[in-house]
Structure 1
Amino acid sequence: MTGRVVAVNLGVVTEAEWAGDASGRSGIDKRPTDGAVLFRADGVAGDFIGERAHHGGPDQAVYAYAEEDAGWWATELGRDLRPGSFGENLTTYAVDVTGAVIGEQWQVGSALLQVTKPRTPCTTFAGYWGVPDLIKRFTARALPGAYLRVLREGEVGPGDPVQVVERPAHGVTIGEVFRALSLEPDLLPRLLDAPDLPGPIREKALRRLTPR
């Protein structure tokens, strides 16, 4: 089954005490667009990103979250969660985001994207939702969404198909990486099998695996 884009979402400037940036501004509040948007190697055109030390960049050019996973959270919290509520640029349907393999390539619109790593929940996310224990709950649920590189720039819009065009044989998934770094450290050796995993995560895995 081919997945599809539910929404493409762009960040608006939000000033709040919980914003992680020193300026007190955050781009986690992302709103759906009406049409197609250019996905570039350095991010999504028109998207505001705060605290660039931890957000944005080639390995985090696009953040995707599945509509199905968002639905679970909507039920859990008893609130409506529109596309963009997770700070995602790309809301998907019928795409196994948690089961996506590191290095997997997606054809979306005219862009070619590559899965890089899971999202790590932060205090800005918890503050935006107004859920103090969100980091703990989000980690326990282990449906983190996925960051992607843009291998070929192109336009992406609502309704575009999401097709997996290449999947590495190593099989290391977004979910495994997330659990290895949080809930299941026994999975850490698996991370070294994924050559497309960003360097900082590989280095973190190696540090944790090195006897002291």
Structure 2
Amino acid sequence: MSRDETHRFSKTPRESITLVTGLGVVGDAHAGALVQHRSRVRRDPGRPNLRQVHLIQDDLLAEARAVGHDLGPGGLGENVLTTGVDLLALPTGTRLLLGEVVLRVTGLRNPCRQIEDFSAGLLKVVVARADARPSTSEITLGPTGGAESIDGAGITRRAGVMAVVERGGEVRPGTAVEVELPPEPHQRLEPV
């Protein structure tokens, strides 16, 4: 569990975090009913905040550490680090139950140039070609700084998922995550 009061790249690990329905993590710079991410505020400050809570699978951090990146909990700016849940395979609208807390998955985090600025080469860990072919090319970033393509090919974004808080409460490390899929047909996750 991590949060940070300012718009820094990484978040500080905490003994617990408190989530508030419709707002996000208490004491986190990204909490709010309307967009809080600076690039999105500049584009349209009146949009709903679909990025109240950021979740990442712990195996991504392990993979990054295995290739030399010094990452611990909160290192990629996530609020919740999960184990044993394939977050990236979930459809949009999936509900995640963390004890009394209910989160609704809204989409993928779109990795951006800040990841590369944080640790050179890390962007290539969190973004891959969608066809799984290896590439030594640089990742093409869009006008807002988010990853768009590699070698002109589509990409797979692996930097976690974003969610909104449907029911608040306190979450501590080790809290089990239960998954409730939405009704079919399922919509695949898109960047939010």
How big is the alpha-carbon RMSD for the aligned residues of Structure 1 and Structure 2?
2.5
Residue ranges of structure 2 left out of the alignment (5+ in a row): 31-35, 42-46, 130-155
What residue in structure 2 maps to residue 117 of structure 1? 107
Alignment pair present for 1:170 and 2:185 = yes
Structure 2: distance between partners of 1:65 and 1:168: 24
Structure 1: distance between partners of 2:71 and 2:83: 15
Return the offset for 1:103: 0.5
Structure 2: distance between partners of 1:173 and 1:126: 26
**Matched pairs, number:** 155
Structure 1: distance between partners of 2:167 and 2:184: 22
Counterpart of 1:9 (choices 2, 23, 28) is 2
Counterpart of 2:127 (choices 121, 139, 146) is 139
Q: Confirm or deny: 8 A CA contact 1:110 1:154 kept in the other structure.
A: yes
Q: Confirm or deny: 8 A CA contact 1:104 1:164 kept in the other structure.
A: yes
Return the offset for 1:43: 1.9
Q: Confirm or deny: 8 A CA contact 2:55 2:82 kept in the other structure.
A: yes
SS of alignment partner, residue 116 of structure 2: helix
Structure 1: distance between partners of 2:99 and 2:28: 18
Residues 81-130 of structure 1, C-alpha deviation per residue, up to 9 Å, x if partnerless?
1111111011000011111111111111211111111011122222223x
Residue ranges of structure 1 left out of the alignment (5+ in a row): 1-7, 14-25, 179-200, 202-212
Alignment pair present for 1:38 and 2:28 = no
What residue in structure 1 maps to residue 59 of structure 2? 68
Structure 1: distance between partners of 2:92 and 2:21: 20
- Identity among equivalent positions (%) equals 28
- TM-score computed with the length of structure 2 as normaliser: 0.70
Structure 1: distance between partners of 2:5 and 2:118: 13
Structure 2: distance between partners of 1:97 and 1:136: 19
